[in-house]
Structure 1
Amino acid sequence: MVLNSNSKKARIDELAERAAVQDGLDGGGIKDGEGVSLIASAWARLRRNPMFIVGAIMVALIFLVALLADVLAPHDPTVRYLADKVSRANNPVPGAEPGYPLGADDLGRDLLSRLIHGSRNTLIIAFGATGLAFFGGLVLGTLAGAFGGWIDSVVMRVVDIMLSLPSLLLAFSIAALFGRGSQTTVIVAIGIAMMPTFARLLRGSMMAQRSSDHVLAARSLGVKKSAIVFRHMLPNSLSPVLVQATMVFATSIIDAAALSFLGAGNPDDTKPEWGQMLGLAQEYFDTFPHMAVYPALCIIAAALGFTLMGESLREALDPKSRR
């Protein structure tokens, strides 16, 4: 029996070698090579993508500034060091001077220190909103994509209603329900507004997984539905959702700034945040535009960095857009 099996294997190898020789392969053999995972393949492309490198550098610098804000900031962002130089009639906003390279705000607080500490609070809001949107969308998308039927219909109708409103308008409406704005209010408002994007994306990805070969094979073998959902369908559906998270991170930074600009953000200016600083600078925009320009540039840089990374990840993970 063993001899018969070995002879069959030898016969198959001989036929494969002959076919390879006929096809013009070098030496009539097939070279062995190690398989490459999706993550390794994507990383190999990302390392050669200038857009990803630029975005990663920008994001890394912002994170570094946020982590080392206490060390990098030359002054306490809440102390009114130049309050004695603030004059509502002649000098409402102190300009640059030694020790204060960007000057101060209308209360005499160091503008550079507030920008540095503002990076930390801005990233906290973006992380919190993106995390809330991700996990909320994960629950809704999993329910709709895994079970289908009336559950899918109910979840998707709720998602459609939320998507019918612009995300910023929905976030502003949710923030207004809290009455008094705070950092938590901004996080919850933006997170709920972004949740339908993740839910619809995950639902579509899981619907595609439901008809895939490995899921059909698991069902034919009698594997429990919960095991199929959480071991097979969900892990293979997360790639586009994770890519979308980087894009939502950039959108969260912009929406947080918009809510603060509209007066629905965190009113506590002892915790500086770029959007809040931009909103407070409205009064002096005509005469002292630098108060709005500096936080606006920080917001643009952060949003651009995450957008470049998100687009690069999408191209690297999506087979249809690989170069």
Structure 2
Amino acid sequence: MTRKKERIDELATAAAGEGQVADAGAVAGGEGTSLWASAWRRLRRNPIFIVGAVLTLLVILLAVFAPLIAEHGPTDRILADKVSRSSNPVPGPEPGSLLGADSSGLGWDLFSRLVYGSRMTLVIGFAATLAGFFGGLVLGTLAGAFGGWVDSVVMRIVDVMLSIPSILLATAVATLFGDPSNLTLIIAIATVQIPIFARLLRGSMLAQRSSDHVLAARSLGVRRGAIVRRHMLPNSLAPVLVQATLVLATAVIEAAGLTFLGLGAATNDVPEWGQMLGESQAFFDSFPHLAFWPAGCIIVTALGFTLMGESLREALDPKSRR
């Protein structure tokens, strides 16, 4: 036994001398990193994430600094004297008006309305996603934490909502309100997002129910509410937060689609890209740029959120780590 102990000490000392073991109980390679820190390290080297982040940041800056970027207000009739229904319904670009007039026939500046339109589009997208996230958080937590008949009832409701095409469900909810507005638009889009978050969170929480730390907490007599708040829910939010980034892109597109159909605000004093796209239909043959610019803004915004969400999902997925 003495000889074996001496031999083990010799091997440990030799390994430490070669830099393989620095100390008893220490792991070679330094301290460990958290999941989010490791994901951020990979994201910084991912060109797809960088492109998505740049596009998203540009749109956000456009919305925040709209008064500084746009030379005119969204309802300033700077080209009213140039509008002629018969010969010149949409005046073209000129000094002080980068893209010319919009399709309203009131002489509003198209570039200024595009810049200010980013505000309403992002507000609708963020608000709808946030409302859908909290709604799904409640339903997913109930289903994943309690299980049994609560899980069955919640999931059957979610299944019914998921069986209806999203744009059809959002349209049905929006038409329930007699007076369409941006608030009703947010409610309609959030209703579509709730079952997505609920199902994803419920699956994550079911995986957490059989984990070692949850079983240990139960064996120590910790109450179910405390286990859900302190252990199950925090460890289940990562995939839901990633999904929220992807849903933002969907919310922007759905908001544009519903306003295109006339289910948004009744007036166009506050511009929104989908509404501008719908108003350009009457002039599409002669002035296609009226549809090109708002459609391009919608595509770029949705692309930015999608690239960021997909990159974040891959960075947090253990199977895709290299």
Distance in 1 separating the partners of 2:111 and 2:278: 17
Shift, 1:253, TM fit: 0.4
Residue 66 of structure 2 aligns with which residue?
69
Residue 4 of structure 1 aligns with which residue?
none
Counterpart selection for 2:39 from 39, 42, 57: 42
Residue 25 of structure 2 aligns with which residue?
none
Residue 87 of structure 1 aligns with which residue?
84
Shift, 1:13, TM fit: 11
Q: Which residue identity lines up with residue 85 of structure 2 in the other structure? A: R
Shift, 1:32, TM fit: 6.3
Q: Decide whether aligned partners of structure 1 residues 283 and 220 sit closer, same or farther in structure 2, where only a CA change above 3 A counts.
A: same
The answer as to 2:180 corresponding to 1:188 is no
Total equivalences in the alignment = 312
Distance in 2 separating the partners of 1:28 and 1:83: 78
Distance in 2 separating the partners of 1:13 and 1:270: 86
Q: Decide whether aligned partners of structure 1 residues 28 and 39 sit closer, same or farther in structure 2, where only a CA change above 3 A counts.
A: closer
Other structure's SS at 1:263 match: coil
Residue 110 of structure 1 aligns with which residue?
109
Distance in 2 separating the partners of 1:123 and 1:301: 13
After superposition, where does 1:114-133 map in structure 2 within 5 Å? 114-133=113-132
Residue 255 of structure 1 aligns with which residue?
254
In the TM superposition, what whole-angstrom CA distance separates every residue of 1:264-292 from its partner, at most 9, and x where no partner exists?
Answer: 12222111011111111111111111111
In the TM superposition, what whole-angstrom CA distance separates every residue of 1:1-60 from its partner, at most 9, and x where no partner exists?
Answer: xxxxxxxxxx999847737968x9935624362121111101100000000001101111
**What TM-score, normalized to structure 1?**
0.92
After superposition, where does 1:1-323 map in structure 2 within 5 Å? 15=8, 18=11, 26=18, 29-30=21-22, 31=28, 33-105=30-102, 106-323=105-322
Contact 1:262 1:279 in 2 (8 A): yes
Q: Decide whether aligned partners of structure 1 residues 14 and 169 sit closer, same or farther in structure 2, where only a CA change above 3 A counts.
A: farther
Q: Decide whether aligned partners of structure 1 residues 278 and 143 sit closer, same or farther in structure 2, where only a CA change above 3 A counts.
A: same
Distance in 1 separating the partners of 2:274 and 2:299: 11
Distance in 2 separating the partners of 1:273 and 1:71: 18
Give identity over the alignment, percent: 66
Contact 2:144 2:202 in 1 (8 A): yes
Distance in 1 separating the partners of 2:20 and 2:246: 49
Q: Which residue identity lines up with residue 186 of structure 2 in the other structure? A: I
Distance in 1 separating the partners of 2:14 and 2:306: 49
Distance in 1 separating the partners of 2:13 and 2:158: 54
Distance in 1 separating the partners of 2:273 and 2:6: 67
Q: Which runs of 5+ in 1 are unaligned?
A: 1-10
Distance in 1 separating the partners of 2:13 and 2:48: 41
Q: Which runs of 5+ in 2 are unaligned?
A: 23-27
Q: Which residue identity lines up with residue 157 of structure 2 in the other structure? A: V
Q: Which residue identity lines up with residue 21 of structure 2 in the other structure? A: G
Other structure's SS at 1:175 match: helix
Q: Which deviates the most, 80-89 or 43-52? A: 80-89
